[in-house]
Structure 1
Amino acid sequence: MNDAPLRLGVLDIGSNSAHLRVADLVPGLPPMPVRSVKSSVRLAEATDLHGVIGRPAVGRLIAAVREAVAAAAALGVDELVPYATSALRDAANRDDVAAEVRAATGVRLGFLTGEREARLTFLAARGWYGWSAGPMLLADIGGGSMELAYGAGREPEVALSVPLGAGRLTRHHLPPRPPVPKRTRRALRAHVRSVLHEATAGIAGLPAPVRAVATSKTFTQLALLCGAPKAKAGPYRARRLDRRDLHDWIPKLAKMPDEERARLRGVKASRAHQILAGAIVAEGVMDVLRLDRLDVCPWALREGIFLHRLDEAVRGRAPEPFPEQRPMTLRGASLRAVT
């Protein structure tokens, strides 16, 4: 890698939004943020019972990708990594949607597997906390899935994904509007624990982690709800989520309408509807893995991709493709795949 920084854009198509994050990558330094552009796509809520994403959401997605490409070109991005997580990855019409996006924008969306997400997010957390974190457990709650990873090194020994996303569980297990009856909460808790007990059998037998880490908007908002410092305190302030505090909030959230939840500390209106399911999953993973608290890491999947690409640049390697995805170079407003 020469002395000039590599300006990388990472476009994350999630359940609720399309989020472009641009950073300069320089050996020996952390990713240096340049700009962030976020657009609402609401793919999860536009997915029907058959797993088909509706037409209005496809239109929102195309508009969001166009906006991201224009912003990346204006910022002089060298490479763009566009990928979709579980909301689009698991959709019944994902290939048709991806083809429409490519035809309309020139962007070929990749699909990260859940395991790949877990590995890259673990890399980000290891980059943030360093070797002093020791054997580390990672948990990340998305809209459609939850990723878990464990390891003592830079790469996790165990990385897995389970269908316990906050949006998915809200749609399939909770009523359209609160209040949520106690029996319904109990049924969801039982389902979450059943899935986790089976999925984490390989983690449960490993040495206890020195540090248990949480990433994602869901964990961040739950930590704020339970009293963690707000974003204005800066990224270096410690933020933690305590299991006992979270346990006390669950019955309160179950009684509140979305409008009241959105007025709570740290809870955004766009995520108020699914915050209860997220809290039940967060409590579940802490119970099943016997964790009293989780440290909330400000770095997550996008930063993991930045670090992964920086490693490749330092080693002088061409970009390693993710499953069904290749980085793209920007030349003005045009795109072409990196070979």
Structure 2
Amino acid sequence: MDGQTEGAAAPDWGPFGRPLFADPEAQDLSRVGVVDVGSNSVRMVVFDGAARSPAYFYNEKIMCALGSGLSETGRLNPEGRTRAKGALARFAKLGEGMNVSSLTVVATAAVREAEDGADFCDEIERKTGLTVHVIDGNEEARLSAQGVLLGWPGSYGLVCDIGGSSMELADLADGQVGRRLTSPLGPLKLKTVSGGKKGLKAHIKGIVSTLHANMAEETGMRLFLVGGSWRAIARVDMERRGYPLTVLHEYRMTTRQVAETREYIETADIEALRGKLSISAERMSLVPLAVLVLDQVVKTFKPKDITVSSYGIREGMLYEQMPEAMRLRDPLIEACRFAENKDARLPGFGAKLYDFVAPLFPRADWQKKRIIRAACLLHDVSWRAHPDYRPEVCFDNATRANLGGLKHWERVYLGLALLHRYTNKREGSRYEPLFSLLEDRELKEAEVLGKAMRLGAMLWLAGGGVPAALTWRSQKKVLEIKVAPEGRQLFGEVAEKRFAALVSSLGAEGKVIRPRD
């Protein structure tokens, strides 16, 4: 991803490219507020931080169920409407206090379909000053797909966004949003379908079959799941499988796992499951219906893999405001560079450290290189933590942080490398269950990276020059470090021990070439 910009980067920035967060265009996006008025919830998000991979400065959701009963009455749920008005008044006031210049507010299926939807929008503007933009299903699908692109530039596949009253599909190819469709498959609407469970399943199957035909019968693609009901199902799947990392973004399921989780939900004590997983009662009430939709979608479209995206319509609204050059940047690298600039003791050192450790990974592809770069950028951002807990803090930050563009195994790889930046051992760690997401080769590789960063951190000061360089002869299993004259005094007793630890992790012979006196 970041390879698209490396060629145009100023040479002095090396493989990392010029940082974006200091650019005026990026600073204009430093605090962006968006509100999504959905059929089930009303949520406000204020984005802040790294321009390409912004942090959630503020995030609040209120379950209003505006679309509950809409199919029968044609109007917004009265109680939900009252709650939504209160939520929007609160959000408008919060935006003022956070110096958000304006809140972009969009409303989706419930408001656009209700006969009193326009009246609701007028009332909100009169009482709060907020303009509610009612978008159609195609626009909703487009924004949700753009939210996926915020986390995965250049993605391809099918985005499936479920809300309370509708479900949208959007095709992604070469990082562009293509065909888009909307359907009445939101679980709030499905509650009113007659004919019992058999009638409900037939109703869902018929609509999904029509969607499949109109999407040119795409099969074998990646399926991105967007929406709170999908995330709740994924959380249930994690519980059923005993999955060790409960980060929903980039969680993956197979068609078989979806079917098994549907069966699990059908026989489970929903209330007990809800309490165990800390899912709201309003959300959990929709899960048994939503899982029938998901099961039919994966049976019909036959995706090669299924990925949960925490990014959706709100992130798509932010993506809409980004200049094209910013959209093409790697969200992981930009977020890590922002963290280094904000929290590291020596901002900018990550680029030097990457050059130092890179010879150890001569066969790394671009995907592995970006993880190595991320580790080098993050290697020192947790220095304020107590030394006894610094390895754990580093691991937690990497595995559970709000970072885009990271698969789950890559999170653990990154976290383990940073853990080894501060300690030689990982045995006995409370994180051992997470290590099962890595192959033995990846465990060893992350250890090597961590120990190489630990060594490299000993050898640089703020000045220029290269005090030492590594040469790795993998065939002969020989690791050589050549100490430059300016590194003579830096390569002392502690550095020698760290070099020996790195050599041991490689199962190699170590050679030190010192400058002549």
TM-score (norm 1): 0.79
Q: Could you tell me whether the CA contact under 8 Å between 2:248 and 2:308 is conserved in 1?
A: no
SS of 2:27 mapped into structure 1: coil
The 5-angstrom pairing of residues 166-315 of structure 1 reads 166-170=187-191, 172-173=192-193, 184-206=196-218, 208-209=220-221, 211-227=222-238, 233-234=246-247, 238-254=250-266, 258-263=270-275, 265=277, 267-291=279-303, 293-311=305-323
Q: Could you tell me whether the CA contact under 8 Å between 2:103 and 2:130 is conserved in 1?
A: no
Q: Deviations over 1:81-102 (max 9, x none)?
A: 0111112221121111112222
Distance 1:130 1:15 in 2: 29
Q: Deviations over 1:234-253 (max 9, x none)?
A: 566x4123322332343453
Identity over aligned pairs, percent = 23
Runs (5+) with no aligned partner, structure 1: 175-182, 316-339
Q: Does 1:44 align with 2:67?
A: yes
Q: Does 1:20 align with 2:44?
A: yes
Q: CA deviation at 1:43?
A: 1.1
SS of 1:198 mapped into structure 2: helix
AA of the residue aligned to 1:215? V
SS of 1:122 mapped into structure 2: helix
Distance 2:256 2:248 in 1: 24
Distance 1:42 1:203 in 2: 30
Q: Could you tell me whether the CA contact under 8 Å between 2:40 and 2:163 is conserved in 1?
A: no
Alignment CA distance shift 1:64-1:195 (3 Å):
same
Q: Point out 4+ residue stretches in structure 1 off by more than 4 angstroms.
A: 228-236, 255-258, 312-315
Higher normalized helix content (fraction of residues)? 2
Q: Does 1:162 align with 2:183?
A: yes
Q: Could you tell me whether the CA contact under 8 Å between 1:224 and 1:230 is conserved in 2?
A: no
AA of the residue aligned to 1:110? H
Higher normalized strand content (fraction of residues)? 1
Q: Could you tell me whether the CA contact under 8 Å between 2:253 and 2:307 is conserved in 1?
A: yes
Runs (5+) with no aligned partner, structure 2: 1-23, 328-517
Q: CA deviation at 1:165?
A: 0.6
The aligned counterpart of 1:59 is: 82
TM-score (norm 2): 0.53
Q: CA deviation at 1:116?
A: 0.8
SS of 1:139 mapped into structure 2: strand
Aligned-pair Cα RMSD in Å: 2.8
Distance 2:163 2:59 in 1: 19
Distance 1:3 1:87 in 2: 34
Q: CA deviation at 1:110?
A: 0.9
Q: Larger C-alpha radius of gyration, 1 or 2?
A: 2
Distance 1:250 1:205 in 2: 24
Match of 2:171 among 150, 154, 157: 150
Alignment CA distance shift 1:173-1:47 (3 Å):
same
SS of 1:44 mapped into structure 2: coil
The aligned counterpart of 2:102 is: 79
The 5-angstrom pairing of residues 94-173 of structure 1 reads 94-131=117-154, 133=155, 135-170=156-191, 172-173=192-193
The aligned counterpart of 1:325 is: none
Match of 2:58 among 31, 35, 39: 35
Alignment CA distance shift 1:113-1:313 (3 Å):
farther
How many pairs are equivalent? 301
Alignment CA distance shift 1:208-1:256 (3 Å):
closer
Alignment CA distance shift 1:25-1:51 (3 Å):
farther
Q: CA deviation at 1:33?
A: 1.9
SS of 2:114 mapped into structure 1: coil
Q: Could you tell me whether the CA contact under 8 Å between 2:255 and 2:302 is conserved in 1?
A: no
Distance 1:231 1:165 in 2: 30
Distance 1:152 1:38 in 2: 31
SS of 2:170 mapped into structure 1: strand
Q: Could you tell me whether the CA contact under 8 Å between 2:36 and 2:314 is conserved in 1?
A: yes
Q: Could you tell me whether the CA contact under 8 Å between 2:220 and 2:304 is conserved in 1?
A: no
Q: CA deviation at 1:31?
A: 2.4
AA of the residue aligned to 1:9? G
Distance 1:222 1:128 in 2: 21
Q: Could you tell me whether the CA contact under 8 Å between 2:110 and 2:165 is conserved in 1?
A: yes
Q: CA deviation at 1:50?
A: 2.3
Alignment CA distance shift 1:55-1:185 (3 Å):
closer
Farther-moved stretch of structure 1 (36-45 vs 88-97): 36-45
Q: Could you tell me whether the CA contact under 8 Å between 2:65 and 2:77 is conserved in 1?
A: no
The aligned counterpart of 1:324 is: none
Q: Deviations over 1:44-98 (max 9, x none)?
A: 2254612112433322121111100011111111221011111222112111111
The aligned counterpart of 1:11 is: 35
SS of 1:19 mapped into structure 2: strand
AA of the residue aligned to 1:192? I
SS of 2:143 mapped into structure 1: helix
AA of the residue aligned to 2:170? A
The 5-angstrom pairing of residues 317-336 of structure 1 reads none
Alignment CA distance shift 1:277-1:3 (3 Å):
closer
Q: Deviations over 1:95-141 (max 9, x none)?
A: 1111222222122211111111111111221231233x4x3111111
Q: Deviations over 1:158-183 (max 9, x none)?
A: 1111110122112x127xxxxxxxx7
SS of 1:173 mapped into structure 2: coil
Which structure would you say has the larger RCO, counting Cα contacts within 8 Å and 6 or more residues apart? 1
Distance 1:79 1:279 in 2: 37
Distance 1:257 1:3 in 2: 48
